[in-house]
Amino acid sequence: MTLEQRISAFVKLGNHLSNLSQEGFESLALSARLENPWFTEANVKRSLEGVTRYLLDDKLREWTSRYELNPAQPKTVALVLAGNIPMVGFHDLLSVLISGHRAQLKFSSKDSKLIPYLIKHLIWFEPTFEKMIEVKENKLENFDAVIATGSDNSARYFDYYFSKYPNIIRKNRTSCVVLNGHEPTENIAALGEDIFSYFGLGCRNVSKAFVPEGYDLTKLLSAWDSYKDIIHHHKYCNNYDYQKSILLVNQVPFFDNGFILLQQNDKLVSPISVLYYEFYKDQTDLETKLNRDAEKIQCLVGNEKPANVSFGSAQYPDVWDYADNVDTLKFLEKL
């Protein structure tokens, strides 16, 4: 199968998703939510829109034009997919197939409905893909390379088990925002999208804010009123109640608007329903703090350098925005 055929099939898949009927979408979203309560209809819709953004003809052509993607001997690449947000592993599947290699898939038990739906329709548009995709229920075997995504704990297992293969092993990451104190209200409001989308479960969700000394944190809370309904999700609410009770029992100061807690903490990854914040004195102090955590930061939201993502756009990467800044297609090109 040529690169042209592969691109054409994925473009057709994107068109299918763009024109999915309301009934078809609701059925798909329901199957995902029954498996994983965090996968609400709104979050499945958001994820599908993100996938559709990848599958545009001009974007796929621009992306793939940077590489040599016609392997003489296609390899089998094992994919261990995460399940923290809907279809989070689709980009890896897209990368493997668009590069001309075969994919051997191990789904997360938390997300085993959505990507199979995409695969079924991809094969419908291009039947040759059926021979290039294998789903494993149990042990991965007979593969040539690995891309595995998981927690820091599972990454230690991956490092041990897959060390003899060419691999990309991804660990826990999170995202942060840098505020300078002069952001307009619309920026702060847009930041809510980076914090609350997917309930904060993604590596591109902001879980930590770096703010200048003297910053008025209450204006953050008042700017996010449009996200207040998040507290009606039972699992999110349980986390909020639990985290608030812990802070109260331990007499830790915090800010609260009824659906998110702001806590001063030098740690990077905050629990669900909590946003950590940390003050910085000046630019030098800020850079020191960011360098301290550089290997754990996926996106840095803000208006000025060193920020690399604008407010409200952390969850909307382009197809060439690679997780952990590791060029997946370059890795696949070299196999």
Are the beta carbons of 94 and 88 closer than 8 angstroms?
Answer: no
Per-domain boundaries in the chain: 3-172, 174-301
> Dihedral through CA 58, CA 59, CA 60, CA 62, nearest 10?
80
pLDDT at 233: 98
Kindly state the tokens that stand for 80: 């261990």
pLDDT at 67: 96
pLDDT at 59: 97
pLDDT at 199: 98
CATH topology of domain 174-301: Aldehyde Dehydrogenase; Chain A, domain 2 (3.40.309)
Q: Quick check: helix, strand or coil at residue 145? A: strand
d(CA 1, CA 56): 19
Q: What is the mean pLDDT of each run of 10 residues along the chain (335 residues)?
A: 96 97 97 97 96 96 96 95 95 98 96 96 97 94 94 84 93 94 95 98 97 94 95 98 98 97 97 98 95 93 92 95 94 95
CATH topology of domain 3-172: Aldehyde Dehydrogenase; Chain A, domain 1 (3.40.605)
Q: Quick check: helix, strand or coil at residue 324? A: helix
d(CA 329, CA 320): 9
> Dihedral through CA 195, CA 272, CA 280, CA 189, nearest 10?
20
pLDDT at 268: 95
pLDDT at 26: 97
pLDDT at 5: 97
d(CA 87, CA 2): 26
